[in-house]
Amino acid sequence: MDRNALATAYGLLIAGTRRAASSGGMIPVLDPSTEMVLAEVPDATIEDAAAAVEAAAKAAPAWAATPSRRRSEILRRCFELMTARAEELAVLIAQENGKALRDARGEVAYAAEFFRWNAEEAVRIKGDFAIAPSGANRIIIDHQPIGICVLITPWNFPAAMATRKIGPALAAGCTVILKPATETPLTAYALAALYEEAGVPPGVVNVLTTRKPGPLVAAMLADPRVRKLSFTGSTEIGRTLLAEAAKHVTSCSMELGGNAPVIVFDDADLDTAIEGVMVAKMRNAGQACTAANRIYVQSGIYDAFAARLTGRMLALAVGPGTAPETECGPMISAAAVGKIERLVQDATARGAKLLCGGARPAGKGFYYPPTVLADVPPTAEMIHEEIFGPVAALCRFESEDEAIARANDTEYGLSAYIFTRDVARGLRVARQIESGMIALNRGLVSDPAAPFGGVKQSGLGREGGTDGIYEFLETKYIAAAL
């Protein structure tokens, strides 16, 4: 594509127009399977960010005043357009993110659902009315759009993390500025074209890419019209942004990192457990915040589980995300591969046994093979850090109490997985695990109709379900002498 065509397809989206960065700077976007440049996107400046806030502020009154039925119909149209273009979007995600096409197709379907779900939520925003106990007045509770929202998303789900924020924000009547991850901006820009076509007015959704997210986001948060920061990404950056937002007392929703434990009890159905762990571990080649990071298996089933899992991991087809047969694509970057390598070397140095994988291949592309490690000791760094790659860390346990204590021995609390045929035990353990989401006898928790989010240092707030839209609404109480 020549530079002009690129500027049209991937220009900054501000007030409904595509533009180059005011500095003229560009950011290359790499194909992680070849390390070649796929495209370039503008490197926005603080002036561009100020223009985006201005555009969002200008569009805000009319969008907030748009009847919720109309907002709902526009969101429904976004769902329909996304579904109609699912294959094209899946290929783009597979190219820039590297995930296997089948994962990319799953992501597009999941991402589109946030528009359908929020089209339904837009017309169900509830208020309340009560009689004050004193009898002196009535209590009226109203919900109003919170204001301009800055949305920041990671590279691992370039479509879904954006729609999980844009869907409820628009349903609530807010205008937004989206800053997608620098590694995967093309999907965000492709989706922006679709919002325009669905009837989202200019300025309601603005999209900026930058190499300097810190100063840019700080400048946007310093504008008093910006009242919401919704961030998905690492706990480390989340902490920095919470400190920045504290300066202006900006409302924050934080979807941060995870360190998901899996607990497989002796009485689990082995087929169900293996199937579930393969999904929990290998969706996106292990690059998910919900990815199974520590797999605790009870001693009676441990050897059979380890052998079956190793067989399944060895059989996975590794290759570029866009190849139809690929089941495990490359990692996002050389740094990501380096981190996985470091964690595997640390675990084996501390006594973990390598059952398969463990050595990065030669050649181009950020590949790391599906790997299984047995008897990973509690001191290994991968027990405390997100692996974010195709490495299954197996640990043996004896009792229910031990499994719960080890699962909770982390600063994170996003998701956890339990496999047992005893449903009473499953629910008992689920109540004691310190995490926002639990999967019982399955490997997937994400659902637009359910509240997604973490406890402890995995985040603040919930996305999806009936809670999601309220993250973008402010409660107003009117004491009325009626």
| 197 a catalytic residue | no
CA distances to 177, 230, 242, 254, 367 from 247, in Å? 20, 16, 9, 17, 41
Q: Given the complex with ligand NAD, which of 68 and 240 has the nearer CB atom?
A: 240
Under the binding rule (CB under 6 A), the answer on residue 240 touching ligand NAD is: yes
For ligand NAD, the closer CB: 163 or 310: 163
Cβ neighbors of 119 (< 8 A, separation 6 or more) are 72, 73, 75, 76, 79, 171
The one-character DSSP state at 452 is: B
- Is residue 209 a contact residue for ligand NAD (CB under 6 A)? no
The binder of ligand NAD chosen from 213, 261, 276, 357 (CB under 6 A): 213
**Which region among 97-105, 119-127, 251-259, 351-359 touches ligand NAD (by CB under 6 A)?**
251-259
| 185 counts as binding ligand NAD under rule CB under 6 A | no
Specify the residue, 179 or 228, whose C-beta has the smaller distance to ligand NAD.
179
Out of 78, 289, 328, 395, which one is annotated catalytic?
A: 289
- Residue 233 or 321 with smaller CB distance to ligand NAD: 233
Cβ(284)–Cβ(156) below 8 Å? yes
Contact 395, 296 (CB under 8 A): yes
Least separation in angstroms between residue 89's CB and ligand NAD is 18
Which of 107, 113, 183, 255 does the annotation list as catalytic? Answer: 255
Given a contact cutoff of 8 angstroms between Cβ atoms, the answer to whether 273 and 352 are in contact is no
Does 261 bind ligand NAD (CB under 6 A)? Our answer is no
* Contact residue for ligand NAD among 43, 103, 386, 471 (CB under 6 A): 386
The edge-to-edge listing of strands for the beta sheet with 353-356 is: 353-356, 371-374, 391-397, 292-298, 260-264, 415-419, 437-440
Q: Does 348 bind ligand NAD (CB under 6 A)?
A: no
Would you say 43 or 327 has its CB closer to ligand NAD? 43
Task: Tell me: does residue 234 bind ligand NAD (CB under 6 A).
Answer: yes
Closest residue to ligand NAD, Cβ-based? 233
- Tokens coding 206: 């603005």
Nearest distance from C-beta of residue 200 to ligand NAD, angstroms: 21
Whose Cβ is closer to ligand NAD: residue 21's or residue 268's? 21
Q: What is the DSSP string of 151-217?
A: EE--SSSTTHHHHHHHHHHHHHT--EEEE--TTS-HHHHHHHHHHHHHTPPTTTEEE---S-HHHHH
Can you give the length of the chain in residues? Answer: 482
Q: Is 232 in the site for ligand NAD (CB under 6 A)?
A: yes
Query: Which stretch in 34-42, 134-142, 179-187, 278-286 sits in contact with ligand NAD by CB under 6 A?
Result: 179-187
Q: By CB under 6 A, is residue 214 in contact with ligand NAD?
A: yes
Question: Shortest Cβ distance from residue 482 to ligand NAD (Å)?
Answer: 43
289 belongs to the catalytic site = yes
Tally the C-alpha atoms within 13 A of residue 268's C-alpha that lie toward its C-beta: 30
Helices (H) and strands (E) in the chain, counts: 14, 20
Task: Report whether 153 contacts 188 (CB < 8 A).
Answer: yes
User: Which amino acid, one-letter code, is at 169?
Assistant: A
Q: Which stretch binds ligand NAD (CB under 6 A): 11-19, 253-261, 302-310, 397-405?
A: 253-261
- Residues 452-481 touching ligand NAD, rule: CB under 6 A, are 454, 459
184 or 298: whose CB is closer to ligand NAD?
184
Q: Is-contact 262 435, C-beta < 8 A?
A: no
Least distance (Å) between residue 458 CB and ligand NAD: 6
H or E stretch at 21: none
Query: For ligand NAD, which stretch binds (CB under 6 A), given 112-120, 191-199, 255-263, 292-300?
Result: 255-263
| Residues 141-170, mask of contacts with ligand NAD (x by CB under 6 A) | -----------xxxxxx---x---------
**The tokens of 64 are what?**
């907030």
Backbone angles phi, psi at 397, to 5 degrees: -135, 165
Outline where DSSP puts E strands in 424-468.
437-440, 459-460
The answer to the question of residue 28 lying near ligand NAD (CB under 6 A) is: no
- Interactions with ligand NAD, residue window 31-60 (CB under 6 A): none
Tell me the pairing of strands 260-264 and 251-255. unpaired
For residue 177, state whether it binds ligand NAD (rule: CB under 6 A).
no
Sequential DSSP letters for 106-152? HHHHHHHHHHHHHHHHHTT---EEEE-TTSS-EEEEEEEE--EEEEE
Verify binding: residue 416, ligand NAD, rule CB under 6 A. no
CA distances from 200 to 9, 64, 228 (A): 18, 12, 20
| CB 126 to ligand NAD: min, Å | 25
Q: How far apart are CA 146 and CA 463, in angstroms?
A: 16
Binding piece for ligand NAD, criterion CB under 6 A, among 29-37, 108-116, 233-241, 260-268: 233-241
* Cβ at position 141, least distance to ligand NAD in Å: 29
The site for ligand NAD (CB under 6 A) is made up of 152-157, 161, 179, 181-182, 213-214, 217, 232-234, 237, 240-241, 255-258, 289, 386, 414, 454, 459
Residues recognised as catalytic? 255, 289
